[in-house]
Amino acid sequence: MGPIRQHRDLLFWISLFSCTAVLLFILLPLLQMVCEPTWQGLCEAMADKTVRRAIGLSLYTAGWAALISFVIGTPFAYLLARKSFPGKRVIEGIVDLPIMIPHPVIGIAILGLTGSEHWIGRLIQEAGIRIMGTVTGIIVVLTFVGLPFYINTVKNGFEAIPIRLENVSRSMGASFTGTFFRITFPLAWRSMLVGLILCAARAISEFGAVIIVAYHPMVAPVLIYERFTAYGLEYSQPVAVLLILICLILFIALRVASTARAPANAGLSKTKFSA
């Protein structure tokens, strides 16, 4: 015998309606696109060297963007999570800026800074680094748009680790660095992985900024756009479906890895200090 159902009030039905509406809103266009291309069209897209190269470049550049975010974003996220200082809210606002700015504007801003008219651009060029129309340029743009997602996620992850664990570790003789690597990092790596996933996902989907900085070499979103404008819906859809499938497999695998055997906090509250 199942549980005896209680009377459900209006809020339950409103919630059910909103849940259905949101899921349909997200899934219908995607399902339509995934179901539209023929198997033959998908096979042709897979066999197409240009498509494979574009998807490969998207994954490659997004991977680099995530890696760079990990290296420069992790210490910064730790600082934001653990320290209070004047101007912290302003700095957090600056970190969120790439989410709010229209993406073509990001592309234009990066080009403006790295072009030969700007002294920084001249310095970069003298160092042999090219941004316009290069893989490096794409990675710079993708890091710019993905970094806030990594930093915010990892900051939340660090904040969820009670500072008392670090206090105890240090009282037992571990240095600040030793404590980070023996306590904080093993407890925060899942949030780092989630941050990497979000950063890479954001980077793979980026179009507006990339098209300004590097139309060529072509990443998958640019190729899909080009195929759509040049040949129409029929030619762009198989490439889009392929990109969606590859990303889906990759991100599900990473999500599974990030949620496997997460330890509880051994009866800890998240209290930092009490007077």
Partner 1 sequence: MVKLRQLAIELTGFSLGRIDLNVQRGECFVLLGPTGSGKTLTLEAIAGILPISHGRIWINGTDVTRLPPEKRGIGIVYQDFALFPHLSVIENVTYGLRYCRKPHRPSRKRIDELMALTGIDHLSRRDVNTLSGGEKQRVALVRALSVNPSVLLLDEPLSALDRGIRYDIQKLLKSLHRETGTTFLMVTHDFTEAIFLGQRAAVLNNGRIEQAGPIMEILRHPKSPFVAKFVGIPNVFPANFEDNHAVMDGFALKLAHPPSEASTHIAIRPEDIRIHPARPEAPANILTGKVIDMADHGPYGEITVETAAATLKATLPRRELLEFYNLPPGEVFLQVPPDGIHTF
Q: Which residues bind partner 1 (CB under 8 A)?
A: 162, 164-165, 167-176, 178, 182-183, 186-187, 263-269, 271, 273-275
Of residues 208, 272, 205, the one with CA closest to residue 65: 205
Nearer to partner 1, 53 or 170 (CB): 170
The smaller minimum CB distance to partner 1, of residues 174 and 250, is found at: 174
Closest distance to partner 1 from the beta carbon of 173 (Å)? 3
What six digits make up the tokens of 254? 């990473």
CB of 162 to partner 1, least distance (A): 7
User: CA-CA distance, 73 to 66, in Å (whole number)?
Assistant: 10
Nearer to partner 1, 154 or 213 (CB): 154
Q: CA-to-CA distance for 226 and 236, rounded, in angstroms?
A: 8
CA triple 34-209-195, angle to 5 deg: 70
Q: How far is the CB of 263 from partner 1 (least distance, A)?
A: 4
User: Least distance from C-beta 128 to partner 1, angstroms?
Assistant: 43
Nearer to partner 1, 24 or 160 (CB): 160
- Give 1 or 264: the residue with its C-beta nearer to partner 1: 264
Nearer to partner 1, 11 or 260 (CB): 260
User: In angstroms, what is the minimal distance from the CB of 78 to partner 1?
Assistant: 17
HSE, CB side, 13 Å, CA atoms: give it for residue 93: 4
26 or 257: whose CB is closer to partner 1? 257
How many residues belong to the chain? 275
Q: Where are the alpha helices (DSSP H) in the chain?
A: 10-35, 39-47, 49-82, 88-100, 103-114, 119-126, 135-159, 163-171, 176-179, 185-204, 208-213, 220-231, 233-259
Q: How far is the CB of 157 from partner 1 (least distance, A)?
A: 14
Q: What is the rounded CA–CA span in Å between residue 221 and residue 153? A: 25
- Give whichever of 28 and 160 is closer to partner 1, judged by the CB atom: 160
CB of 35 to partner 1, least distance (A): 44
CA 212 remoteness from chain centre: 20
> CB under 8 Å to 153, separation ≥6 — which residues?
191, 194, 195, 198
- Cβ-contact 218, 200 below 8 angstroms: no
Instruction: Provide the 10 A C-beta neighbour count for residue 252.
Output: 11
Distance in angstroms (rounded) separating the CA atoms of residues 41 and 34: 12
Residue 192 beta carbon to partner 1: minimum distance, rounded to whole angstroms: 14
